[in-house]
Structure 1
Amino acid sequence: METLSKGQVALITGGTKGIGKAIADKLSNAGMQVVVTARTAPKENTTGQYFISADLAYPDSAERVAKEILEKYGRIDIIINNAGANLSPAGGFSALSDEHWNNNWQLNFMSAVRVNKALLPTMIEQKSGVIINISTGAAKQPIWEMTMSYSSAKAALNVYSKALANELGAKGIRVNVVSPGVVETPLMLEFIENMAKSSGITSDEAFKAVMDKVGVPMGRMAEPEEVANLVAFLVSSEAKYITGTNYSVDGGASPTT
């Protein structure tokens, strides 16, 4: 995409698998200097991507990642807060302990808050920057049996993102949210397999149960690249007047526009 600026420094958290990897590859192929974080290094070292090992559920990780990026590159242009996972056990409110709630809050909400806080002073000094917080359709359509604490953490991320966009708009920094629906990632496939085993059904039956519950008119999962395409547009110069908005990539699952 010609409107993606070559040489810009982009951070993608959770950038070694699934949606994060698709975004990292998309931006890297466009000529950006891409930094990815994850708890473990990728099996294959992607050319042009700089890896930082970090578990962003822990408070000190964001400061360490920010310091390493700024020491290496001296700037930050794009932050994609993609690190996250549904850590909720099935069963609704009675199955959720304080630890479950806290784990989801730390990984799916506070990780983004801390990363942004650590890197925003540099963006403000530059008078430019783009932040994309990756949320989920389940923040608007929570599935009580499966996503209660996860959905709550991501709903908080949505509200925080809107407030941050309002604060930073006059400073030359844009903030948007991308909310995928059911995406064919390793985590989603693992979730379906575990659901099949625990319920004594086949993987195909578990997949159908998830799709029926979510209600996807297109009848299939999204490919990670389909989410990455939207993110690439939102960080490009073509989207320079777009901020404070939440975009769904869910195959029509949202009941309203």
Structure 2
Amino acid sequence: MTSMPLAEELLLLAYDDQTGKATGSRIGLDLGLSAAVLVDLALAGRIAYVDGYLKVIDPSPIGDTIADAVLAKAAGDEPHTPAQWLQRLRHRLRARLLEDLVARGVVQDVDETQMGVIHVHRYPTTDPAFEAEIRGRLADALTSGALCDERTAALATLLVSCRMEPALRLPPEDVAKAHDRLEQIASGAGFMAGGNLEDSIVRPSVALVVATLGKAIQAALGAPKTA
């Protein structure tokens, strides 16, 4: 199956297949979607983290409408920090991604009216094959000790940075273990403090982008609430 943009993968994980409603933190998901677009550009060798900023190193389009629009804007603008890019991108990004998924028949747009005037949109799954492939990769990553590929490791890092473990739909007793494994994956890929790139297949340039975006997401969300 052709790989989807990371932002679409994150979005499919966040939305319940049946109810079509997003789970977890709204702002966490929106920040994660912004980061995912930037990570895809880093994976494609188009942007890099240089002197505290995300900078364009190759303005050539990668073939994704949203990512290419971001790349063109970044190429013609002054450099911004990872935190600045997260905030600049997150507005209406989720709606644009959902529109694309609806247009391709991956999810459907169910428009319901509440109280006669309020429109509420749900996005239940139409084609489950895409999400099944994503969850299969994550399941392999969570249950094996093997190194992940760059994309899966980056997705795992975004999940833990955005505190989206509930999207994995695990039994309550397995959530803490999954969180620890996600952090192990992120650290082993060099995306978190203590990571060792010598044992990772992730390119250092990609690791820097993902790591700085992960830190920016965590800073924006603040300290996690304690029970």
TM-score (normalised: structure 1): 0.29
- State the TM-score, normalizing by the size of structure 2: 0.32
